[in-house]
Amino acid sequence: MSELVLAPGLEAAAENYLEHIGHADEFGAVDLALNLLDDGVPAETLLLGLIAPAQRRVGELWAADRWSVAREHGATAVSERVVAAIASRVRPEPVLGRVVVACTDGEYHALSTRLLTEVLRLRGWRVDFLGASVPGTHLITHLHQKGPDAVALSCTLPTRLPRAHATLTACQAVGIPVLAGGPGFGSDGRLARLLGADGWAPSADAAADHLQSGGLPSSPVAMDAMAHLADEEYTQLVRRRPAILTGAMDALAGAYPPMARYDDRQMESTAEDMAHIADFLAAALYVDDTAVFTDFVTWTCGVLRARGVPPGALVRGLRVFRDQLREFPRARHLLAEGIHSAHAAETDDADWENER
Amino acid sequence: MEAGRRLSASLNTRRCARTTAELAAAFLADVAMVVLPPTRRRAGWLRGTAGRTGLEEGEIDLAAAAEVPGLAEALAGFPPVPSRWLDSAQTPAWLLPGGFGPVGHLLVTPLPGNGVPAGALVLARREGSAPFDDKTETLVRVFAARAGAAISAAVLYQEQSATNAILTGDLLPPPLPELEGVRMAGALRASQQAGLIGGDFYDVYLPDADALRDEPGRRPLVTLGDVCGKGARAAVLAGQVRHSLRTLLLLEGRPERIVGLLNRSLLASPAKSPFVTMVLGAVHSAAGGHTRLELAIAGHPAPLVLRGDGTVEEITERGSLLGALRSIVPALVTVDLAPGDVCLFYSDGITEAFGGPTGREMYGTARLKADLATCAGMPVTALVERLEQLSTGWLAESAEQDDRALLAVQAVPSEARVPAGRGGER
């Protein structure tokens, strides 16, 4: 949901709102939102013009190391309460069809789907909100029971794309079209198209417009298999993930002697970082999309920079994988591109250092 | 073939009827209406019109259905009768969309189901268009057989799943009530994900007015427990345990006494291995906004306590499990929660989750404690969600999963504020 801009006239409220949620001040945040509602600000404007931008800001503040993870989670929890408060105030009769809203299995970024849910309700849809991390089997059972007109499937992290693809295909197999959304599908929705989604929307209101305009087919058309998976690089990487990671950790220790002095916690967080690289690599292989990997590298460099860590650490990890994955030409190409992006970020860093 | 694929895709009645009407309106007639098997003398219908996108939906009385010859019979589940040519003058207005104009030809075909009536298909063509010839009628009959099979399978499935929903409804985790002085949040993930139910449970019980009159000191009780086994069988026993607790609470309010009684009731239970581990706690409010939990721990992983400064304390006593031995000794522990402190109850599905970077490592209590420490200052809902998220992230895709339950009880913070700026690492 990246297209949102602050609704005019809400700038001052937005600052206050961020202040309230940043202090986990539930009552303050709820009062602020309900007062605006009483002042005649439409509920949809509050959801998409106040809460959604604030939530994006929260993510940025965490990435910039200005907010702790506890503060970020606290703020999100308060925003959930505010959405619930608005929803209990404004309850239009459903006059349109039924839509199921769900996060991909393993996805916990539920607030954006909650916002979508409420926007669809406000527009007159009957919505079943299945929440965070919905197992595929549970979703399919629900589809058989309720027979909705569409599924709105959210994927925030590209690492969940293979799972999102499985879910999407399963929904289509039971005859329900899927509207895809969330940054995981790419800011231009190219990955939603690649994976055969019946529609894609960049934001909650665009999703509502799409559904309302009858943009989805009543019965989805199954897509062909993705030819690039025939090289089995994705399959092998996922299957051999534990061995590859163990090998990578050993190689990293050889390439970076200070690791010998790491304590358990440091070793574990390094292992987690390496696992993260492997997972993004797997996702990029799955969708055969270089930007999925290089965007991850660039973003990670930004997060590291904010914490005073030079991109060198990340480059070391990428090199270890590149050297290790000799039989994976596609993966090696992605890693080379990733190293390139990290160097570009480093150059930016140097410029940034010089400016200071 | 396309029709077969589309018809067999869904197990939802409305969805199947919708596909039937869409296909029939596209290939067989100007208007196609599916009338579904009636319930309580009313029948739902869906109607598709050739050249129009979207369907109309409605409901009719059985009396109205009788106005169309052959329709009532088809709906009542009589064996398939030969389709009839109809006199279009007999057509009632509800059968056709507004502005359709005069009808030329009508055809009513029963939808034969798998031993269950699956409704009827009504086809109409405009005046002046070709009549339904023998060839078309045969095609319609073949199509109706396919559609009827799909719809009746869906009807059966819907009935089964409605029954299932009623039976499992009470086994789902309850909404947590508001308790004065504390905030609570829970999360439950069943290992058998399609079923949503399993052997882990949590619950909160408030003393009723009679109990309070007899014994004004009665306190609300919180519990989290784990029944041996997985899936529906474990869920049924978990439901019985929760129900037994509710009943026992009418007579007894002390956790240590209640677990003793519950143990006796489990030993008398016909279930094969009614082993249960649990923590049961009475929630007391204490001076200065503190909350005191009087816990009886019966063979269960002991709760963790998160203090306001981020330190995590572990209670080490576990007590004996229930449902195995005649005499049991629960561990009795008192936990004092200052404003903002959190007591976390969890099941071993959390700590014994296998996965992590190598896919083979156990999550373990040490990691849970370290992760809990990063949650200092969070609202309990966020805390529980974060821990569930970390645990799900840890689990290897391939690992065999156990049920996982979390319940956090927090003494209301003196002011609902976390310190500004950053605190704690990522």
By CB atoms closer than 10 A (0-12, 13-18, 19+), residue B400 is: exposed
Cβ distance of B11 and A174 shorter than 8 Å: yes
Angstrom CA distances, A12 to A6, A22, A83, A323, stand at: 10, 16, 19, 52
Closest CA of chain A from B340, distance in Å: 13
Q: Would you kindly state where each structural domain of chain B is located, as residue ranges?
A: 2-168, 174-411
Q: Which of A61, A159, A219, A270 is the mutation pick for testing B, counting most B CBs within 10 A?
A: A219
pLDDT tens, position by position, A136-150: 888 998 999 899 999
d(CA B30, CA A354) in angstroms, rounded, equals: 75
Mean pLDDT of A309-332: 93
Regarding whether A177 and A242 lie in a shared domain, the answer is no
- CATH number of domain containing A144: 3.40.50.280
Cβ distance of B426 and A69 shorter than 8 Å: yes
By CB atoms closer than 10 A (0-12, 13-18, 19+), residue B73 is: middle
Regarding whether A100 and A78 lie in a shared domain, the answer is no
User: Across-strand partners of B338?
Assistant: none
Regarding whether A203 and A137 lie in a shared domain, the answer is yes
Percent of chain A with pLDDT over 70: 95
Q: What confidence tier does A4 reach under pLDDT thresholds 50, 70, 90?
A: very low
CB neighbour burial string for B243-269, b if at least 16 within 10 angstroms, e if fewer: ebbeebbeebbbbbebbbebbebbeee
Report yes or no on whether pTM surpasses 0.90.
Answer: no
Q: What is the pLDDT of residue B113?
A: 77
Dihedrals phi, psi of B225, to nearest 5 degrees:
-150, 180
Confirm if B303 and B351 have CB atoms less than 8 A apart.
no
Residues 149-208 of A with CB under 8 A from B: 173-176
**Partner B contacted by A16 (CB < 8 A):** no
From chain B, pick out residues whose CB is under 8 angstroms from the CB of A80: 381
Tokens of residue A288, six digits:
């055969």
How many Cβ atoms sit within 10 Å of the Cβ of residue B207?
20
- SS3 for A102-170 is EECCCCCCCHHHHHHHHHHHHCCCEEEEEECCCCHHHHHHHHHHHCCCEEEEECCCHHHHHHHHHHHHH
d(CA A228, CA A249) in angstroms, rounded, equals: 29
Cβ distance of A174 and B10 shorter than 8 Å: yes
Mean pLDDT of A251-264: 91
Q: Please give the single-letter amino acid code of residue B145.
A: A
Secondary structure letter of residue A87 according to DSSP: H
Higher pLDDT, A40 or B419: A40
From chain A, pick out residues whose CB is under 8 angstroms from the CB of B9: 173-175, 219
From chain A, pick out residues whose CB is under 8 angstroms from the CB of B388: 108
Q: Say if residue A1's pLDDT is above 50.
A: no
Regarding whether A235 and A336 lie in a shared domain, the answer is yes
From chain B, pick out residues whose CB is under 8 angstroms from the CB of A25: 416-417
Regarding whether A149 and A118 lie in a shared domain, the answer is yes
Angstrom CA distances, A274 to A242, A319, A321, B358, stand at: 11, 11, 9, 10
Among residues A91, A115, A138, the one where a domain terminates is A91
Q: What confidence tier does A117 reach under pLDDT thresholds 50, 70, 90?
A: very high
Cβ distance of A218 and B382 shorter than 8 Å: no
Closest CA of chain A from B60, distance in Å: 20
Cβ distance of B417 and A23 shorter than 8 Å: yes
- CATH number of domain containing A29: 1.10.1240.10
Closest CA of chain A from B233, distance in Å: 19
Q: What is the pLDDT of residue B415?
A: 65
Among chain B residues, CA nearest to A278? B357
Angstrom CA distances, A4 to A34, A229, B196, B237, stand at: 21, 35, 35, 49
* Sites in chain B below the pLDDT cut of 50: 416-426
Q: What is the pLDDT of residue B84?
A: 57
Q: Which residue has the tokens 């305009």?
A: A213
Regarding whether A111 and A57 lie in a shared domain, the answer is no
- CATH number of domain containing A313: 1.10.490.20
Regarding whether A192 and A235 lie in a shared domain, the answer is no
Q: How many CB pairs under 8 A join A and B?
A: 137
End-to-end CA distance of chain A: 33
**Partner B contacted by A242 (CB < 8 A):** yes
From chain A, pick out residues whose CB is under 8 angstroms from the CB of B422: 65-68, 71
Regarding whether A239 and A315 lie in a shared domain, the answer is yes
Helix A329-355 with A264-287: angle, nearest 10 deg: 120
Least confidently predicted of A126-140, A146-160, A213-227, A276-290:
A213-227
Cβ distance of B12 and A23 shorter than 8 Å: no
Regarding whether A172 and A110 lie in a shared domain, the answer is yes
d(CA A246, CA A257) in angstroms, rounded, equals: 17
pLDDT tens, position by position, B112-140: 877 777 899 999 998 888 888 888 888 99
Among residues A179, A201, A223, the one where a domain terminates is A223
Regarding whether A219 and A114 lie in a shared domain, the answer is yes
User: Across-strand partners of B306?
Assistant: B312, B342
Higher pLDDT, A178 or B136: A178
d(CA B257, CA B381) in angstroms, rounded, equals: 31
Q: What is the pLDDT of residue B420?
A: 42
Q: What is the pLDDT of residue B368?
A: 96
Region of residue B411 (left: phi > 0; alpha: psi -120 to 50; beta: else): beta
Which element (helix H / strand E) includes B61?
strand B56-61
Among residues A66, A91, A116, the one where a domain terminates is A91
Tokens of residue B307, six digits:
């203090």
pLDDT tens, position by position, A186-236: 999 999 999 999 999 999 999 999 999 988 887 787 777 888 998 999 999
Kindly report each contact of residues B85-92 with a partner whose C-beta sits within 8 Å and lies 24 or more positions away, as own/partner. B85/B131, B85/B132, B88/B127, B91/B124, B92/B64, B92/B67, B92/B68
Cβ distance of B193 and A271 shorter than 8 Å: no
Regarding whether A265 and A184 lie in a shared domain, the answer is no
From chain B, pick out residues whose CB is under 8 angstroms from the CB of A133: 389, 392
Fold of the domain built from segment(s) B174-411: Phosphatase 2c; domain 1 (3.60.40)
Q: Is A78 helix (H, G, I), strand (E, B) or coil?
A: helix
Which element (helix H / strand E) includes B107?
strand B103-110
From chain B, pick out residues whose CB is under 8 angstroms from the CB of A135: 193-194
Q: What is the pLDDT of residue B85?
A: 59
Best CATH choice for the domain B2-168 from the list 3.50.50.60, 3.40.640.10, 3.30.450.40, 1.10.274.10: 3.30.450.40
Regarding whether A147 and A37 lie in a shared domain, the answer is no
From chain B, pick out residues whose CB is under 8 angstroms from the CB of A74: 377-379, 382, 418
**Partner B contacted by A74 (CB < 8 A):** yes
Average pLDDT, chain A: 91
d(CA B307, CA B337) in angstroms, rounded, equals: 8
> Could you list the residue range(s) of the whole structural domain that residue A274 is in?
228-355
Q: What is the pLDDT of residue B425?
A: 35
Look at chain A and report how many structural domains it folds into: 3
